[in-house]
Copies of this chain bind each other. A is one copy, B any other.
Amino acid sequence: MAIASQEVSPARFSAQLRSHALQTRIMDLILDRGLDVGDALPTESELSAELGVGRNTVRESLKVLQALGVIEIRHGFGMFVAPNNFSALVSGLTFRGRLSLRHKGEEAMELIDVRQALESGLIGSAIDLLTDEHLADLRVTMEAMENAAKKGEPLYEHDAEFHRRLYAPLNNDLLINLMDVFWQVYRKIHLALGTGPVNLEQQTQDHWDIFEAVANKDKALASERLQRHFDGIRLKLKDVAAA
């Protein structure tokens, strides 16, 4: 079989393009059939037959699509169109970050720059759309963070939750996902470097300050305090990297 003859089979196209083309064909198949998030894809064997390529080849593309967050593979059950989620990017970006830290750690700094720009740039819009409910959620998160700090527990999750909820009013999944990715990458790099001494109280106070500005709907102050928050993170990262 292998009816690859259908296409002109340019043979000059680099293999990389062929591989990429297969991924595209599968994505097109999903779109053409009107499959939506949660819907099941054909089985590997069916895809292999329909696309005229071996099952291993199909599997390689499917794994890539899984890594790209396009589909979700459930062993023994089937494959499904995945909900939006960028967790896949974490691996790649983390690798980049760790690779760069061997040199000068510049790329890790770039990541902070992007986070800073995104967050301080969007805080104004977020405040515009902020409701009392959102604010209540934020306060709950802050209280949880404070409790954790008193117990000497790491604040990773609460910190992430705070930033996630801060931008929830924007109702922008892409943004939330991106920020989550950056956050996780930063955390992994930080852990890989070995955490320096952390001042839990200072960290909590920083967030309370931001919270206060947001609660008062003071856009300029909130933006400024976010800027400083990231400046602090940047300095800390520089210290750790130097050690």
**A interface residue numbers (CB < 8 A to B):** 14-16, 19-20, 23-24, 27, 30-31, 34, 36-37, 56, 59-61, 63-70, 73, 75, 81, 84, 88-89, 91-92, 95-96, 98-99, 102, 107, 110-111, 113-114, 117-118, 120-122, 125, 170, 172-175, 178
Distance in Å: Cβ of A113 to nearest Cβ of chain B: 6
Q: Please name the 4 residue pairs, one residue from A and one from B, whose CB atoms are nearest each other, closest first.
A: A121-B121, A68-B92, A110-B174, A117-B121
A20 to B81, CA, bound (A): 19
A61 to B69, CA, bound (A): 15
Most buried by B among A63, A70, A125: A63
Selected from B113, B170, B173, B174, the residue in CB contact (under 8 A) with A175 is B113
A15 B110 Cβ-Cβ under 8 A: no
Q: Tell me whether chain A's interface is mostly helix, strand or loop, or mixed.
A: helix
A24 to B90, CA, bound (A): 11
List 13 additional A-B contacts (Cβ < 8 Å) besides A59-B60, A70-B96, A118-B118: A19-B63, A27-B95, A60-B60, A63-B63, A68-B88, A84-B96, A89-B89, A110-B175, A111-B174, A117-B122, A117-B125, A120-B121, A121-B121
Contact partners of A125 in chain B: CB under 8 A: 117
Selected from B15, B59, B96, B114, the residue in CB contact (under 8 A) with A172 is B114
Known: A14-B75, A68-B92, A75-B16. A170 touches B121 (CB 8 A): no
Distance in Å: Cβ of A14 to nearest Cβ of chain B: 7
A135 to B19, CA, bound (A): 40
A118 B110 Cβ-Cβ under 8 A: no
Most buried by B among A37, A59, A68, A89: A68
